[in-house]
Amino acid sequence: MLPCPRPTATLHINTTCQKVQLDTSNVGQPNITSQFCSNIFRHRYTQQQVLAVQTAHRKASSWQDKVALSTVKLLRWGMDFVTGYNSYSPTSNFETKARPMTEQKWITRFIFLESVAGVPGMVAGMLRHLKSIRMMRRDYGWIETLLEEAYNERMHLLTFLKLAEPSWTMRFMVLGAQCVFFSGFSLAYLISPQICHRFVGYLEEEAVITYSKAIKDFDDGHLPLWQNLQAPEMAIKYWQMPDNNRCMRSLLLYVRADEANHRDVNHTLGNLNQTDPNPFSANSKIQNALSQLQQSDRGKAGR
């Protein structure tokens, strides 16, 4: 097996958990990193793109935002309890922690996290699909993005299941959490889609933090069993990982990049009206590209 590439000093900057302020207030032009917009459906990233991901937080300004953030914090507490997670600084992993985060604990957390994260996109896509049929009108591109998100999260789960076999206790907890979360999120989306998308945005913020801390643990040498572990074959094919970046660290970087996508997309969708076109749909991207091309042609003609 090829050894996992060791990070340089500049890479550590990108894997820390220092938060930056996330601004998604501009509805017309969603403030999402352009380098990820172009890859949102094919999930192909360059090494520079996956290393550029940072943790970010959108300030809760309205009461809807505060409800969504409070719900995520409550869910985060329950997830931490179930998966045995603690919030100590990863730089002091084996020095100060009574119960350090081992490879098994990280995988358990990833599996539980992804089993929950795969629900919102499917629920929202399903409800919008049914509404489009019921109202006999277009959905303006929301459904494809939401279903793609659900599929992407499921691929994360299936990838991690290649690395560990969850216990029956974990399976029952996932089953119970899915039943409760599916029912609750379905009802909530019928009442306020805006709050639900903001909720998912905050949930994905936590996901980016989780994977950033795992990467930091890996870089600091606290996860020795993963140092020479190669990514599963299905992950290599799904993300089309290059030959020299197929180790466990690279897998975590790719997954984190996906979560950053979902974070920014859902925060942007939370700003839109339900009848607004989805700026992340394939059709919108083509129209925007054509519009930019036409503007460029007009500019050249006017010179």
Q: What is the pLDDT of residues 153-188, one digit of tens each?
A: 999 999 999 999 888 988 998 899 899 999 999 999
The answer to whether position 28 is within a domain reads no
- Kindly state whether residue 131 falls inside one of the protein's structural domains: yes
- Within-domain flag for 133: yes
Contact 241, 119 (CB under 8 A): no
Q: Which residues sit in the known binding site for Fe cation?
A: 114, 153, 156, 204, 259, 262
Cα angle for residues 201, 206, 207 (degrees, 5° grid): 90
Tally the C-alpha atoms within 13 A of residue 91's C-alpha that lie toward its C-beta.
4
Is residue 253 one of the residues assigned to a domain?
yes
Q: Kindly report, residue by residue over 144-162, the tens digit of the pLDDT.
A: 999 999 999 999 999 999 9
The predicted structure's pLDDT at residue 84: 72
Check whether 5 has a pLDDT greater than 60: no
Domain that holds residue 146: 60-85+97-290
Torsions phi, psi for 152 (to 5 deg): -65, -45
156: in domain: yes
Which has the closest alpha carbon to 231: 253, 261, 198? Answer: 253
Tell me how many domains the chain contains: 1
> pLDDT confidence of 235, banded at 50, 70, 90?
very high
Residue 3 lies in a domain: no
195 inside domain: yes
The domain that contains 66 carries what CATH number?
1.20.1260.140
pLDDT at 46: 84
Structure tokens at 86: 């603690």
Q: Is 37 part of any domain?
A: no
The annotation places the binding site at 114, 153, 156, 204, 259, 262
* C-beta separation of 189 from 269 below 8 A: no
* Cα–Cα distance, 100 to 36 (Å, whole number): 33
Strands, E assignment, the chain: 20-21, 56-57
